[in-house]
């Protein structure tokens, strides 16, 4: 099932008020802050869209689970969301989303100060996600297309946990997603 723009908006409106992991912001606040950071750095629209949608898998999974999210299991949200978006969005959006968890694992290996900046919830999820990359894993990761974009997304992701941080609204960023979807549809024809 591919999510329409209305579906994405509805998911954020219905489930975006839930807390984001063990953080002091909601899912929606986190998504908006991540996208706002991308936009403030002049990122391309594809990366702004990826920033907005990078954790949508958490929301879809929580909606489908009757018992609520399990904080002791890695549900691979970064991969889970892809089938819901792949028909309407290009690789420039999808790949940074898919790779943003591995980007954290990579950054822990290549930036000696990075690990100390992680929140306790992010350190916990790092363990569940496989821990810090080895040198070989770093090399393999960095050779992939979109690795640099995934690292940029990861850094915004880590900063997007500020309670009450003002951002543009959801409609602002959904307009960007809609434009990307339209271009992608035209390019596929």
Question: Per-residue confidence of the chain (189 residues) as pLDDT tens digits?
Answer: 789 999 999 999 998 998 877 788 999 999 999 999 999 999 999 999 999 999 998 888 877 764 444 454 445 777 788 999 999 999 999 999 999 999 999 999 999 999 999 988 888 888 888 999 999 999 999 999 999 999 999 999 999 999 999 999 999 999 999 999 999 999 988
List C-alpha distances in Å: 84 to 74, 88, 159. Answer: 19, 9, 26
What is each CA distance from 90 to 114, 117, 123, 145, in whole angstroms?
30, 31, 30, 13
Tokens 């290549």 belong to residue? 110
Q: What pTM value is reported for the model?
A: 0.91
What span, in angstroms and rounded, lies between the C-alpha atoms of 43 and 48? 6
Kindly report the CATH class assigned to 5-188: mainly alpha
- The residues near 42 (Cβ < 8 Å, ≥ 6 apart) are none
Contacts of 158 (CB under 8 A, 6+ apart): 104, 117, 118, 119, 122
């Amino acid at each position: 099932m591919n999510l329409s723009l209305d579906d994405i908006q509805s998911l954020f409106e219905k489930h975006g008020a839930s807390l984001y992991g063990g953080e002091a912001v909601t899912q929606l606040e986190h998504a908006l802050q991540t996208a706002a950071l991308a936009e403030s750095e002049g990122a391309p629209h594809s990366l702004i869209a990826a920033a907005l949608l990078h954790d949508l898998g958490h929301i879809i999974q929580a909606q489908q689970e009757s018992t609520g999210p399990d904080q002791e299991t890695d549900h691979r949200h970064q991969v889970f969301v892809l089938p819901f978006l792949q028909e309407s969005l290009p690789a420039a959006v999808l790949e940074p989303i898919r790779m943003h968890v591995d980007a954290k694992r990579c950054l822990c290996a290549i930036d000696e100060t990075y690990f100390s900046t992680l929140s306790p919830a992010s350190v916990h999820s790092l363990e569940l996600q496989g821990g810090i990359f080895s040198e070989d894993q770093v090399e393999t990761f960095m050779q992939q297309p979109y690795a640099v974009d995934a690292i940029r997304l990861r850094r915004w992701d880590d900063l997007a946990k500020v309670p009450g941080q003002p951002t543009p609204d959801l409609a602002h960023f959904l307009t960007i997603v809609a434009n990307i979807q339209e271009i992608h549809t035209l390019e596929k024809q």
